[in-house]
Amino acid sequence: MISMDNTIITRFPPSPTGSLHLGGARTAIFNWLYARHMNGRFVLRIEDTDLQRSTQESVDAIFEAMEWLGIDWDEGPYFQSKRFDIYKEHIDRLVADGSAYYCTCTPEQVDRMREEAKKSGGKPKYDGSCREKNLQWEAGAVVRFKAPLTGSTVIEDKIRGNIAFANTELDDFIIARSDGSPMYNLAVVVDDITMNINFIIRGDDHISNTPKQILLYQALGEKIPDFGHVPMVLGHDKSRLSKRHGAMAVTAYRDMGYHPDAMVNFLVRLGWSHGDQEFFTRNELIEKFNLDHIGRSAGVFNPEKLLALNAEHIRNASSESLVPHLMPFLEAKGIKTEPGEFLNGVIETLKPRSKTFIEMADGAVFYFQEKPVYDEKAAAKFLKPDLTGPIKQLADGIAGLAVFDEKNLEDIFKQVMADAGLGFGKVAQPVRVALTGKTVSPGIFEMILALGKEKVISRLYDAVQWMEKALGTE
RNA sequence: GUCCCCAUCGUCUAGCCUGGUCCAGGACACCGGCCUUUCACGCCGGCGACAGGGGUUCGAAUCCCCUUGGGGACGCCA
């Protein structure tokens, strides 16, 4: 508490007008990581001053996404809609000391001004008609900030260096609507001041808002926080990410079987680097993340790389840690199971061959079936009657095993192969079909071990029976 | 239109600040091959980029300028 001044306080301020999308998620992650890395604090704030567009569903979707990503906050969530008194207070103060003024121009009039300005080759701006009228409040009036007419405002950006704007580029922007509600720039600044935010990391689409906000800080006599503008995330066509780019909501990736750590890893790596390292665990990210290696150019979202990274995260995680992630997908397939040794063993065999949890659940099905469902072609090709003997011998051998382990399993296989004069593949593939119903599965021994002695034996005998019946019908 | 930002393989990027070690490194994807009981994993190799033009310099991916290209912002949205 002695040196609170040095504590980095970042924030993530989504507006609840939709689900949390990739770009927003990355901004959240950057702020969160920076706060964690710096041992600072991270604040969540919901920017719902636009009552028309904000929805409770969106608020819930944002929380859901944050939770899935594993981003926790130290303060909040604050809701701007509950802080109108605070904004009102600041707006009044600005009007009182002459930093802002009432404006009674109608939207139509302002539209015309913008047209005019555009025609004369400039930026569409409000022309300042009411600036010096010293109007009192009246119904329908908005409050405009009295922006400086000369000079320039400089952003000392921690990522991109200094960015200067001529103040003539700015117009007297509205800080309070005619219904008294605060506009974005005002609300953000007041919030960041009152919440002690001292480090703002956001998309570079906010660069042009920054001079306005800096001016507001100055008018309010407050210290300007540090800014760091990160490049945006673009769609495959290099345009701003939007609905037409397909899955944008981060939770859509949860539903497609992605691991949140992979998502975080991917998003961070899109714009930030640590030499050639591609794979990062959450803790590694907290340890290594900093602003020094954030790029300056926009990045294209590349789903294939996300997929590859997801596979890598699945491969590298402990089977046990994967259980809660996989469970919903198992349930969706009607598989009832519970955490434990058996499930861990199943996952262990599936890890290197699953790019998503959906794939993993697909691959896990045979382990849980009462009896495997034979793929017609596979059974016809590999469960030949002449294998009846060897398979039976194998089943008997396994049944007689005191210790059910890979070494003993191998010995039995060798014995069967030798007695039947068959190569390993000639035995293994039929066994695979007998046990899984398919020609593709995890390695034969690891799969047998994971399945468990009882199931292996009964499935083997079932196969023998099947083969004998097939023989009878021929 | 005006202002701002950006510019290395198809994509994500290292290198750029502190020019030479870069005829530019890694990853994804793609193509070969190896391993192998299937499918994967893994391993080896290949393809593939400093946007263009001017400078500065003995020397430029690295510094400067211009052009071009891309993106963003210009709202009683955030």
Helix H or strand E segment including A333 = none
What's phi and psi for A315, nearest 5 deg?
-60, -40
The answer to whether the CB of A238 falls within 8 A of the CB of A300 is yes
**Cα atoms in the 13 Å half-sphere on the side-chain side of A46:** 26
Can you give the pLDDT at residue A2?
A: 40
pTM here is 0.94
| Cβ contacts of A179 within 8 Å, gap of 6 or more | none
Token digits for A80? 């701007």
Nucleotide nearest to A144 (CA to C1'): B76
Pairing of strands A233-234, A75-79: unpaired
SS3 A144: strand
Protein-to-nucleotide distance from the CA of A296 to the C1' of B52, whole angstroms: 21
- At residue A4, the pLDDT reads 55
Q: Provide the pLDDT for residue A326.
A: 98
Q: State whether the beta carbon of A137 lies below 7 angstroms from any atom of strand B.
A: no
Regions of chain A short of the pLDDT cut 70: 1-5, 246-247, 471-474
In whole angstroms, B47 C1' to A271 CA is: 26
Q: Which of residues 362-421 of A have CB within 7 Å of strand B?
A: none
Catalytic residue numbers of A?
Answer: 243
Nearest to A267 by CA among A60, A442, A65: A65
Q: What is the Cα–Cα distance from A62 to A299, expressed in whole angstroms?
A: 23
Quote the CA–CA distance of A435 and A373 in Å, as a whole number. 9
What CA–CA distance (Å, rounded) separates A137 from A95?
Answer: 10
The reply to whether the CB atom of residue A304 sits less than 7 A from any atom in nucleic acid chain B is: yes
> Does any strand B atom come closer than 7 Å to the Cβ of A292?
no
Say what the pLDDT of residue A1 is.
Answer: 41
Burial class (CB in 10 A: 0-12, 13-18, 19+), A86: middle
pLDDT the model gives residue A3? 44
Q: Hey, is A395 helix, strand or coil? A: helix
- Looking at this protein, which amino acid is placed at residue A401? L
Q: What is the pLDDT of residues A156-178, one digit of tens each?
A: 999 999 999 999 999 999 999 99
DSSP secondary structure, A216-228, as one string: HHHHTT-PPPEEE
